[in-house]
Structure 1
Amino acid sequence: MTLSPQEQFKQFLEKSKDILILIPENPSGDSVGSAWALYFFLQKKGIKSSIAFSNHLSPKYNFLPKPEKIMTEISGARDFVLSFDTTYNKIEGFRTEEVDGKFNIYLTPEKGSINPRDFSFILAKFKYDLMIVIDSPDLEKLGKIYEKNSDLFFEVPIVNIDYRSDNDNFGQINLVDVTASSCSEIMHQALSHINPDLIDKGISDCLLSGIISATESFQKKNTTPKALQTAALLMDAGADQQTIIRWLYKTQPLHVLKLWGRAMTNLSWDPRTKIAWTTISVEDFVQSRASQNDVLPILEKIQENYTEGQVFVALYNDTPLSTVAIIKTSSSELLKKIYSVANGDLRKDYLQISLQIKNISEAGNLLLEKLKAI
């Protein structure tokens, strides 16, 4: 009898001793909520785990309990073994020394000198026996974590957790539910199947934060009756909805507020095409002490304030010779349509386009011509 994906997931967890949890670079609230919840759930089961992602984590998630093992790059995942055949010549002793950037190993043989042919160099197994990839339709969305550790993904089993219809089903186990509102909803169902008694207030806060983030506080079309039922169960378990909403939507760092003000000053609006766009200069970043990672939250704020808008664009120089455009839309269908014309990197709910144009105004005009023609 074939086991269900949830039952397979349960068995994989119970057999694992060291798990690596992976989420996309610049993770969303749904990524963070589901990954954090899984980490603390595994901790309660006595299973060692770590979380890895590249780039930026928004400070608005600081209210959640924070895992101890968070990495922005994977290090020490695999040992390199220096093996010596002692069949005919034993090793009496050894010592190590690090000098001038070199790590030297000194061996003392039992008899005479050492034959170099008795040495071999072996790559040991990876220390992780399971990887769980959350909220990523493909491995490339993991960014540098995947690029720099591609061997890891071919040798260690993968559990793939997602709710997108375009997911590549790249895992040995694929917990992909296109009817779910979020990865956090899927995670709640999976953890409840394993042991619902382990889902405490901290885990519930993480999961509810993920659902609220993915549904924009139950306002988006993906807010299904099942999502609302899951949210109710999490609140029964102690999740604080009001605190979560206050942190996710009402509490903004000063540098974000400053950058938001500058972006609004530069904002333009076309009522005919319903396109709102703004430019953010290097000076804007410097004066507000913000970074490029703050552009997407700013664009989301603009979208909230222009409810009639259909396309929202923020442009900034990522290098002295190029411009980046971040695009959000009122519907996923429109975003895919823009992607088919403008290409770029299609993320979860926005499109990022790199233009090899130095002048930000020139780059904006070129892009707007394409958008207005759609």
Structure 2
Amino acid sequence: MLSQSQQIFERIKKSGRILISFGRNWDSDALASALALYLFLRQLGKNVTLTAEKKLNAEKLCAFLPSCNAIENTIKNRRQFVISLKTDKAKVGQVKYVKNDNALDFIITPKEGFFSPTDVSARAGDYGYDLIIIAGTPDIEALGGIYTANPEFFYQVPVVNIDCHSANEEYGQINLVDITAVATAEIVFNLLCDYDRSVIDEDIATCLLFGLIAETRNFKTQNITPQSLSVASQLMAMGGRREEIANRLYRSRPLAVLKLWGRILARLNEAVSGKLVWSVLTRADFEKTGAGEDDIAEAIDELIISLPEAKTVIIFYETASAESTQMIISAVKNINVLMLAKEYAPIGSASLATAGSPLPLAEAEKEVIAAIKDKMEKMPI
């Protein structure tokens, strides 16, 4: 019987066009793992596309990673549409087409004989891809619009699911899920080593090292294992650019982001003996600092590093109308954010998700904190 790694490589070998995707929240580990797989498949000469729901923000800390600008935010060439014309009674002389406002007309001039409407038929052809690889994404709905706009595509094309989260729903035909790994990047490293260590060049090593460093907050989280440290050491020996990664992730911050962090710190609250930490942001905070909603996740990372006793961190912020509230929730590995905040329809991964409340900021903060505090007090943490 083939191992999971062997099954994956057999599927890759037989595939002509491969799609790689990851969650809509741009989790750093998932992104880095997807990029490493993309670079690996390009080395093999495969026709591969990398896609995610959101477009890359050039100011994102991950924007320096190799091939990050190759990420597309739509799936193109999903499926062919085939129009057939019987030629047993007539021969084709010339084919033209004319595009009108709402129609595409094909004009076929016979060389001899005649065509009739019954000679024409149409059918759905093959899908534009014959394999999908999804990295660091616990459930397929977490892909966001990439999935919801193309559900049939994901059900008809084989899926390889690679992840480290215990909440993974094993939605693929092949599920390489290892909950003992601290990051999906660690799993991808082992997968590529099973193929041939020599394929891990400096760019692939940098992507995987980025995923490990981001997921472990520069090796400061409590779930670090000897195996993950060994993987990091090997990646650096293979050319992984740790200094550049550290500079990008932890030593380079725009002034607007630092101002936003200051407002978050000024309103910091805690409960459950410091295991639950949260803060709030108004629309005025974004306007006055010049920072955006995408900058909040970085602040959460810093809080988790600075407050090792914190198990769950929540940042509440007003929507544009100020009539409802959004929140970003992050948790350590043994707490599943998707279950912790399930009443608020969270979208993301088990460790980082966004959610919403129809209530104004102050009311939402009060309700959500009460609910999550109650759950965390019952947890063995």
TM > 0.5 fold call: yes
| Partners of 2:139 and 2:169 within 8 A in 1 | yes
Alpha-carbon offset, residue 102 of structure 1: 3.8
Q: Determine the structure 2 residue equivalent to 1:50.
A: 49
Correspondence for 2:358 among 336, 343, 356: 356
Which letter maps to 2:126? K
- C-alpha distance in 1 between matches for 2:149 and 2:342: 29
Alpha-carbon offset, residue 98 of structure 1: 2.4
Alpha-carbon offset, residue 121 of structure 1: 1.4
Are the structure 2 counterparts of residues 311 and 214 from structure 1 closer, same or farther at C-alpha, using a change threshold of 3 Å?
A: closer
Alpha-carbon offset, residue 54 of structure 1: 0.7
Aligned 1:122-141 pairs, distance under 5 A:
122-141=123-142
| Partners of 1:355 and 1:363 within 8 A in 2 | yes
Deviation track 1:156-202 (CA, whole Å, cap 9, x = no partner) reads 11111111222222222221112112111111111111121121111
Q: Determine the structure 1 residue equivalent to 2:269.
A: 269
| Partners of 2:138 and 2:349 within 8 A in 1 | no
Are the structure 2 counterparts of residues 31 and 351 from structure 1 closer, same or farther at C-alpha, using a change threshold of 3 Å?
A: closer
| Partners of 1:40 and 1:67 within 8 A in 2 | no
| Partners of 2:167 and 2:350 within 8 A in 1 | no
Q: TM-score, normalised by structure 1?
A: 0.90
Q: Determine the structure 1 residue equivalent to 2:285.
A: 284
Q: Determine the structure 2 residue equivalent to 1:117.
A: 118
Q: Determine the structure 1 residue equivalent to 2:83.
A: 82
- C-alpha distance in 2 between matches for 1:55 and 1:370: 30
Unmatched tracts of structure 2, length 5 or more = 376-381
Aligned 1:183-262 pairs, distance under 5 A:
183-262=184-263
- C-alpha distance in 1 between matches for 2:169 and 2:23: 15
SS at structure 2 position matched to 1:146? helix
Alpha-carbon offset, residue 105 of structure 1: 2.1
- C-alpha distance in 1 between matches for 2:21 and 2:338: 26
- C-alpha distance in 1 between matches for 2:201 and 2:329: 38
**Mean Cα deviation higher: 334-343 or 301-310:** 334-343
Alpha-carbon offset, residue 255 of structure 1: 3.6
- C-alpha distance in 2 between matches for 1:270 and 1:163: 29
- C-alpha distance in 1 between matches for 2:216 and 2:306: 17
| Partners of 2:130 and 2:157 within 8 A in 1 | yes
Q: Determine the structure 1 residue equivalent to 2:148.
A: 147
Which letter maps to 1:148? A
Which letter maps to 1:333? I
Q: Determine the structure 2 residue equivalent to 1:322.
A: 324
**Mean Cα deviation higher: 55-64 or 203-212:** 55-64
Which letter maps to 1:324? Q
Deviation track 1:282-340 (CA, whole Å, cap 9, x = no partner) reads 23223334332222222333343444545432112335242112233466338577436
Unmatched tracts of structure 1, length 5 or more = none
Which letter maps to 1:339? A
| Partners of 1:25 and 1:56 within 8 A in 2 | no
Which letter maps to 1:198? V
Equivalences, count: 371
SS at structure 2 position matched to 1:71? coil
Q: TM-score, normalised by structure 2?
A: 0.88
Task: Say if 2:83 is the partner of 1:103.
Answer: no
Q: Quick one: percent identity of the two aligned structures?
A: 31
| Partners of 1:5 and 1:175 within 8 A in 2 | yes
- C-alpha distance in 1 between matches for 2:103 and 2:343: 52
| Partners of 2:24 and 2:53 within 8 A in 1 | yes
Q: Determine the structure 2 residue equivalent to 1:18.
A: 17
Which letter maps to 1:44? Q
- C-alpha distance in 1 between matches for 2:336 and 2:162: 25
Alpha-carbon offset, residue 56 of structure 1: 5.3
- C-alpha distance in 2 between matches for 1:187 and 1:94: 49
Alpha-carbon offset, residue 96 of structure 1: 1.7
SS at structure 2 position matched to 1:61? coil
Are the structure 2 counterparts of residues 150 and 33 from structure 1 closer, same or farther at C-alpha, using a change threshold of 3 Å?
A: same
- C-alpha distance in 2 between matches for 1:50 and 1:349: 26
Are the structure 2 counterparts of residues 292 and 102 from structure 1 closer, same or farther at C-alpha, using a change threshold of 3 Å?
A: farther
| Partners of 1:342 and 1:370 within 8 A in 2 | no
Aligned 1:355-374 pairs, distance under 5 A:
355-357=357-359, 359-374=360-375
| Partners of 2:338 and 2:346 within 8 A in 1 | no
Q: How big is the alpha-carbon RMSD for the aligned residues of Structure 1 and Structure 2?
A: 2.5
Are the structure 2 counterparts of residues 164 and 335 from structure 1 closer, same or farther at C-alpha, using a change threshold of 3 Å?
A: closer
| Partners of 2:325 and 2:364 within 8 A in 1 | yes
Which letter maps to 1:20? L
